Structure 1
Amino acid sequence: RVELILSPTAFVGTMVAVDEPVVLLFVFAPLVWMLDNFSKERWARYASALELNRAYRGTVMLLSDVLAHEDEYTADHSRSVVDLVNAVADELEIDPESRQELEFAAMLHDVGKISIPKEILHKPAALTEPEFEIIRHHTIEGQFMLDRVGGLLGRVGGVVRSCHERWDGKGYPDQLKGEEIPLAARIVFVCDAYNAMTTDRPYRAAMKPEAAAKELIDNAGTQFDPIIVAGLVSAIEQGAPAVTTSDGVRALLANRPTPEGAAAAS
């Protein structure tokens, strides 16, 4: 590190300069030059990282808009999952760096459904086994799409692939079990299930929040990670997060304040 080099050098230079003041010029001028260059390089790296982060967020927003164009229900569902995921992240005290990846995964966990035929996606009845197999493929399609972006979203793609893995290893597509499943995927899975249960669908009515919470608790340790279930149930008991609009989620992903009135808009 630079300070490990500068500290002893500065000490020696100061001691010598007691007898020879002119030494200050020859010792400290190069140090000032070195510090100035180091500061510029560090700022350039920070600016580059900030620009890359903005590009990732812009890509997430773009994919979210494409999903909304293709299937408004799935897009609305994903936005609601973002709210639930953030509530769980608060309960579990997830660190800020992990939260960004978690938010992206929540927003894009169903992005692979863009590739699913609409007649299957919007079927107003229970799916047949062959149709369900097609639906199951959406996690792999989502990972493939995000892998093509690469970087942070490539890592998010790995989470998206695992968002339907079960705690007991009976999920898909890789039958991962327990903590083999990425933490972000376990959180999204629980929040995804709760929102799906509490939303009206053509083939069934929405469950009441308390009934959906009981369903999560009954399946904790088999289908769901018990710790995640406890976190979501605790968040629900404190007041379920309000459903966020598209503008609200875009503001969240852009890391800026929610536009006035966005949360209350219909």
Structure 2
Amino acid sequence: MRETVLVDAALSPIGVGIAIATIGHPWGTLVVLPLIGLLFVFSQERQRRLDHALELSNAYRGTAMLLGEMIEADDAYTGSHSRDVVELVLAVADRMGLDPRTRRQAEFAALLHDVGKVKIPPEIINKPGPLDADEWALMSTHTVMGEEMLGQVGGLLGDIGHVVRSSHERWDGNGYPDGLLSEQIPVAARIVSACDAWSAMTTDRSYRAAMSDADAAEELRACSGTQFDPRVVDALVAVLGV
């Protein structure tokens, strides 16, 4: 994207030059024609850069979706959890008016927020009941491990490592791994957290049945301002229409 910005920067003075050359100067055409040719070349280059960036982004998206499916293959209860969370995350991001970069971070983090669980033993992931203290201590490391894994990949995926790390932080500062408070938590992580919780509450688990949409929405509201960002809860409830 940096290269595309440089091309855009080069186009701006060319456009200004064309405007100046054609205002009250009989020799304007002699200046304009070469500039138009140069503008055409730059425009083609800009489009090539944009096409390449889109192609690269789609490749990363496909990789993220594949990794998300691999994670869920070891979890007997999540099914299409990550894809469901992605749909909600994008809807909430759009409602909150997130900028394109943050929206993309939220999308990819929704797909990969549980990537660190591949390093957690399946018997803990699929335990038919609440985790004990030792099991929970191990499970709670998955966000840090996820950040480390994505950092090794780099690129767009490496760019969301900090979001994955913060996806289980709480608005009141009582989350993990860093105990971040309110606005210290990346907004993409705040959105993923609430949408992830909604999906989990409305999905059958080994130790409980799925909650109704109405009950899950009530739980979201009850946790607004403590576990979740109130603005995110408002946007999510509005998107869900509950």
**TM-score under structure 1 length normalisation:** 0.78
In the other structure, the counterpart of 1:9 is: 21
Distance in 2 separating the partners of 1:208 and 1:50: 39
Give the 3 Å change call, closer, same or farther, for CA 75–107 of structure 1 in structure 2: farther
Distance in 1 separating the partners of 2:182 and 2:90: 22
CA-to-aligned-CA distance 1:22-43 (integer Å, 9 cap, x gap)? x845x34422332232223212
- Check the 8 A contact 2:18/2:32 in 1, yes or no: no
- Check the 8 A contact 1:80/1:195 in 2, yes or no: yes
* 1:207 CA displacement: 2.2
- Check the 8 A contact 2:77/2:205 in 1, yes or no: no
CA-to-aligned-CA distance 1:190-238 (integer Å, 9 cap, x gap)? 11112212222112222222222222222211111111112222333x2
Name which of 163, 176, 180 aligns with 1:176. Answer: 180
Further displaced range: 185-194 or 86-95:
86-95
- Check the 8 A contact 2:78/2:203 in 1, yes or no: no
Residue 205 of structure 1 pairs with residue 209 of structure 2: yes
In the other structure, the counterpart of 1:92 is: 96
Give the 3 Å change call, closer, same or farther, for CA 205–75 of structure 1 in structure 2: closer
* 1:127 CA displacement: 0.6
Residue 119 of structure 1 pairs with residue 138 of structure 2: no
In the other structure, the counterpart of 2:42 is: 38
Residue 147 of structure 1 pairs with residue 151 of structure 2: yes
Q: How does 1:105-254 map to 2 (within 5 A)?
A: 105-236=109-240, 238=241
Distance in 1 separating the partners of 2:205 and 2:39: 62
Give the 3 Å change call, closer, same or farther, for CA 54–194 of structure 1 in structure 2: closer
* 1:97 CA displacement: 4.6
CA-to-aligned-CA distance 1:111-138 (integer Å, 9 cap, x gap)? 1111110011111121111111111111
- Check the 8 A contact 1:67/1:75 in 2, yes or no: no
In the other structure, the counterpart of 1:260 is: none
* 1:96 CA displacement: 4.7
Size of the aligned set, in residue pairs, is 230
Q: Which segments of structure 1 move beyond 6 Å, counting only runs of 4 or more? A: none
| Higher Cα radius of gyration | 1
- Check the 8 A contact 1:162/1:185 in 2, yes or no: yes
Any unmatched runs of 5+ in structure 1?
A: 18-22, 240-266
RMSD: 2.2
Distance in 1 separating the partners of 2:185 and 2:230: 13
Any unmatched runs of 5+ in structure 2?
A: 1-11
